[in-house]
Amino acid sequence: MTYPKTALAQTVVELCKSKGVKHIVISPGSRNAPLTIGFTNDPFFKCYSIVDERCAGFFALGIAQQLQEPTAVVCTSGSALLNYYPAVSEAFYSNIPLVVLSADRPKNLINIGDGQTITQANVFDNHSLFSTDLKLDLKDEKHIHSNESVPVMVKVEDRFERLLGLQKNIQTNNEEEINMAINMALMKKGPVHINIPFDEPLYEVVDKLSVSPKTVEVVAKKHDIEDYVLQSCLEEWDTSPKKMILVGTNMPNKIEKKWLDEIAEDDSIIVLTESTSNIHHKGFFPSIDQLIDSLTDEEKEELRPDILVTFGGLIVSKKVKQFLRNYQPKHHWHIDRKQANDTFFCLDNHIETTPNHFFESFLPKILHFVKSHYKTHWLEVKGKRLKKHKEYIVNAPYSDLKVFSKVLKAIPDDSILQVGNSSAIRYTQLFKVNKTLEVYCNRGTSGIDGCTSTALGCAVARVDKPTVLLTGDLSFLYDSNALWNNHIPINFRIIIVNNEGGGIFRILPGHKNTENFDTYFETNHRHTAEHLCKMYGLGYEAVSDEDKLNAALPGFFTESTQPKVLEIFTPKKINDEVLLGYFENLKETPNKNTASDD
């Protein structure tokens, strides 16, 4: 087999292999040649070539999101590395294991005026779990001094390391740092950065390894709940008639069904879920905004929980965040092995374990259900809100709201739904999503910058299911380089809701229909996806009214010989009116004496 000649590249590649880092997303370059040679010549690795580093970062994030195992990105030196930053920050806040392998130049070639020689060490420190700057392999004395431009202090440093026999220690150091980085990504689920200096020549190869790096295995930390913590929780739970469980971003089938069923039997508990929670139960409350937005102050006080239990990733709904900040519970517990965000400014208990382990340790010890009408009452309200929701959607004019209602119903069972940020995920939240779908969205930083690339990475990792991206026009256009990709599966589908700009800004306070608003807030445009699809070889269809949409949707999801894009044009100047009217319609207080229509 062919290997890079440099021992440092061999060490990185072999340790990635030993730790099961199988998927490698490479952006072409020269300084990273030793790594590219090592990964692409070993059949263990599945390598992808993505030119745009920002797209490459999110593509790798999509793979890691689905597999829940570290995926590596490899780039050359210089500004290439900085283009990973949006994906790194998303991985950091979404707990996705991403391994950044950046090639660098030797220290003596940094900050001397050469091109693409930025300071790369620790560049992601604020948004990574671990960063390391590996040490360059020592050269023989003749080679060191053949370059008279080498600064004197670097020459002296290298000479002393050579004289003291530190080559072995350098190898040991590098092995330890690489092990620590990848183990951190495995254990803590987040991004790590390994900066790797290479000296020229970069393209030399050998047919035998010169190193045999030691693998340090991951030691799993037990996350048992302390007895006093469990006892304290039980005491608070047994005296609280109003308990709310709010679930953020969550992988499908992560919570055991028996615990969900047991929770649903307790009338003192209401469970609020989001589209990205991937949890479904007839006794739970999806579409949170339907319930929250229409409540009076008196009803909000009635809804205020004694105990709030949260688990999963970040919450989408602004309305539930505002509600719980204004009507704070007495206690807020967050269940997570890694961290707890004080999102509602009242966190008092971080339970450092998994939700399944917590429920297994906690629920069987509950002595009795507290007598309560908490869930019963709000299920009744939910039924009335749902009736009003359905009536409004049926009679709504053609608009973003109408389009999302139809598209979400049309997506085939057992598909993966990747939702773009901004208006796309917020519209999706208003509907009860098909329980057979897996729903994902980049909610770590909630940016629009890599939604398409992430969906493509997901589609490549999950060939067992078709992936559908539901996104807005700005999000799609912003990440259009994602289509510069030779790995797109033919069952990949993109649905673009094109309202000619950032339509979500029209529902916010401010002066609309002015040149200033159109240019700097809504960012009006007339661009479409048609020519991009032609350039990249994707099927394309466009619709602009309800009848054409109804006709297009069934055939859009059928088998084809190429990926397909459906672009749906909506009337931007009524979208905000329809959405605001939707919430106004829900504000009519339901009659508590009327039977539920759900």
Over the chain, what is the mean pLDDT?
91
Q: Assess whether 372 and 520 both reside in one domain.
A: no
Q: Assess whether 537 and 438 both reside in one domain.
A: yes
What pLDDT score does 158 carry? 53
* Percent with pLDDT over 70 in the chain: 89
Domains held by the chain: number = 3
Angle at 161 between CA 155 and CA 166, to 5 degrees: 155
Reported confidence tier of residue 596, pLDDT bands at 50, 70, 90: very low
Q: Assess whether 241 and 372 both reside in one domain.
A: yes
Q: Assess whether 407 and 361 both reside in one domain.
A: no
pLDDT of residue 383 exceeding 60, the answer is yes
What pLDDT score does 592 carry? 45
Q: Assess whether 497 and 449 both reside in one domain.
A: yes
What pLDDT score does 148 carry? 43
pLDDT of residue 511 exceeding 80, the answer is no
What pLDDT score does 191 carry? 98
- Of 335, 359, 383, the one marking the end of a domain is 383
Instruction: Give the start-end residues of each E strand in 182-288.
Output: 191-197, 205-206, 243-247, 269-272
Domain containing residue 432: CATH number: 3.40.50.970
Domain with 107 in it: 3-205
- Of 352, 383, 414, the one marking the end of a domain is 383
pLDDT of residue 415 exceeding 60, the answer is yes
Of 89-93, 154-158, 257-261, 495-499, least confident by mean pLDDT is 154-158
pLDDT in tens, 517-576: 666 566 778 899 999 999 999 999 999 999 999 999 999 999 999 999 999 999 988 999
Q: Assess whether 376 and 461 both reside in one domain.
A: no
> For residue 216, is it within any domain?
no
User: Buried b / exposed e across 273-304, counting CB within 10 Å, b at 16+?
Assistant: bbbbbbbbeebbbbbbbbbbbbbeeebeeebb
> For residue 25, is it within any domain?
yes
* Percent with pLDDT over 90 in the chain: 83
**Token pair in block for residue 578:** 């329809």
pLDDT in tens, 430-469: 999 999 999 999 999 999 999 999 999 999 999 999 999 9
**SS3 of 281, please?**
coil
Reported confidence tier of residue 515, pLDDT bands at 50, 70, 90: low
| CA nearest neighbour of 3 among 213, 198, 209 | 209
pLDDT in tens, 133-190: 999 987 533 343 334 444 444 445 555 555 555 566 999 999 999 999 999 999 999 9
